[in-house]
Amino acid sequence: MEENKTVLWIADLEKKFHIHLLGDFALETIKNFSLHLNEGEFAILVGPNGIGKSTVLNCIFRTYLPTGGKIIYRSRDGSYIDLAKCDERTITRLRKTEMAYVTQFLHCQPRVPAELVVATPRLSQGIPMGQALREARQLMERLGLPPNLWRASPVSFSGGEKQRVNLARAFILQPRLLLMDEPTASLDQYSTGLVVELLAELKERGTTVLSVFHDFAPVKELVTKVIHLDSHFAQEFEPQEALGISGVEDIVSGRCL
Amino acid sequence: MGVKCESPPVLKVQNLGKIYGPGCPNCVGLTGPEHGRNVCPKCLSIVAFYGISLELFEAEVLGIVGESGSGKSSLLKCLHLDEEPWCGSVYHKEVGNGERDLFACSAQQKRAIRNKLFGVVYQSPEVGLRMGLTAGANIAEPLLLTNKNKPNFRAVRSRILHLFHQVELPIGRVDDPIRSFSGGMQQRVQIAKALACNPSVLLLDEPTSGLDVSVQASVLDLIRRIQWDTGLPIVIVSHDLGVIRLLTQRTLVMRLGRVVEAGLTDQILSDPQHPYTQQLVASALT
């Protein structure tokens, strides 16, 4: 029998927003979205603004409550969990141990130094402060964040610096499933290179990645699957197919306008 | 499907309800958000809250959010055994293996539970502290109550000084009357008093609502640090979504005595389901 490598299996995911305030209507975003990811895959979501790419990620992380479909996650211990329906305690446990989400913009607590923001996920796993801070500093160094920033609050950082704090905070978990929303959007070419290097290492160790990218050229060596979201339908491409023929930009604009 | 939770909840609340007034069979059916009232039209009783069930786990911070009069403070009073509920039960894992309803305990047992297992901080220092006493004496009170037989005054004194240090108050002011303290410092004394007997649950009722923003921030930082250092589970009642966002992982939203929505805090704030929660989130300034 073949070894089961499934990490994420999404079937017919649907998300509607019921807006009660402004005239009580339902806003449809994604529907009939399906996806299967094996361990170590690096899948990227592409598509025009507002098509629901971040909504997919938010539903997987349960920041949004899905209104239909299943999000089956196979956890490290082999159990299957429907992220769309399981209780909140299970989600908080997974967020603590194996699921990380790099949101588009960094949300962090004010008045907390960057190194502690990055170390926090390890601390909540029970890792001692000294070791957690060591790991945090190591990661920040590899991401090119200068040491004089480590003890300052990220609230005052530049966009690219915030982005790297956000990434470091997710990488430090060595997650089994890593969700990212335009992780390199505000990074220069050099910093992007540093991020790609770390992503390659995570992938090597078995992390499964699902990420929104507008320009995925920097990570094209890592990508195993391209999912193109187009007015409620998802289409899968092999990376070469998506990149080789016309470039992503062309595919995106060609199909949705 | 799914994974069972590792350890039992510290606190378990089942179907808790509180009615002020005579109460009648119609009270529950004729009140709540769908009726737009919490006063029973038949008997004019006030249904402070009804049908509240929740579980609080180790190292978890649970938020209860809602407007004034939604029943959140009454609920917290009931959890602290200050008031008898109209229906329902509360279990604590250290009382009868977590199987004994706290309200079925004797008055004396309840007092012991309140002093030993719960720490509470109220919005108003006048409620939580004796304004005629010194700060030290206020903190000493629960310590002496739980050690009635042979109070070791030296140990009590050193515990008070330790707590003073822990909540970042100047040791030199420990024997000053509580009246002479600022609002933020009084809240810190309340927190020290709440922590005095190493409680297993901390109940916070709008702990920072009366404070100006910079003092509010420093008290919130203190609460966050204590939670971080001790892993103490906390129930915090607040009408301030910023406080809820900062401190909690899960949140209950209350309106007219009922829980209208419960979920992960980030989900409640970014994808609120109930019309009231949507209004609440849309009304927040930040």
Q: Give B75-87 as a DSSP string.
A: HHHHHTTSS--SE
Which helix (H) or strand (E) covers residue B175, if one does? none
Is the model's pLDDT at A255 over the cut of 80? no
Residues of chain B with pLDDT under 50: 1-5
Residues on A contacting B at a C-beta cutoff of 8 Å: 17-21, 58, 62-65, 75, 77, 79-82, 86-93, 109-111, 123
Q: Would you call B217 an interface residue with chain A, using a CB distance cutoff of 8 Å? A: yes
Distance CA B257, CA B238 (A): 15
Considering only the beta carbons, identify the residue of A65, A79, A88 that sits closest to B273.
Answer: A65
With a CB cutoff of 8 Å and minimum separation 6, the contacts of A111 are A153, B217, B221
Q: What is the DSSP letter of B38?
A: S
Q: How many helices (H) and strands (E) does chain B have?
A: 10, 9
Identify the three-state secondary structure at position B98: helix
- Helix ranges (H only) for chain B are 72-79, 107-117, 125-128, 135-146, 153-166, 183-195, 213-230, 241-247, 265-270, 275-283
For A109, nearest residue in chain B (alpha carbons)? B246
Contact check, Cβ <8 Å, A21/B275? yes
Best of B1, B225, B276 to substitute, by most chain A Cβ atoms within 10 angstroms, is: B1
Q: Quick one: residue A144, left, alpha or beta (phi over 0 = left, psi -120 to 50 = alpha)?
A: left
Is the model's pLDDT at A219 over the cut of 50? yes
User: Which residues from B are below 8 Å from A90, CB to CB?
Assistant: 2-3, 5
Best of B266, B281, B283, B286 to substitute, by most chain A Cβ atoms within 10 angstroms, is: B266
Convert the pLDDT of each residue in B86-124 to its tens digit: 999 999 999 999 999 999 999 999 999 999 999 999 999
User: Which residues from B are below 8 Å from A21, CB to CB?
Assistant: 275, 278-279, 282
pTM over 0.95: no
Is the model's pLDDT at A250 over the cut of 60? no
Burial (CB < 10 A; 0-12, 13-18, 19+), residue A134, is middle
In the chain, the amino acid numbered A236 is E
Q: Give bridge partners of residue A155 from the DSSP assignment.
A: none
Distance CA B243, CA B123 (A): 14
Convert the pLDDT of each residue in B58-97 to its tens digit: 999 999 999 888 999 999 999 999 999 999 999 999 999 9
Distance CA B162, CA B279 (A): 44
**Cα atoms found within 13 Å of the Cα of residue B26, Cβ hemisphere only:** 9
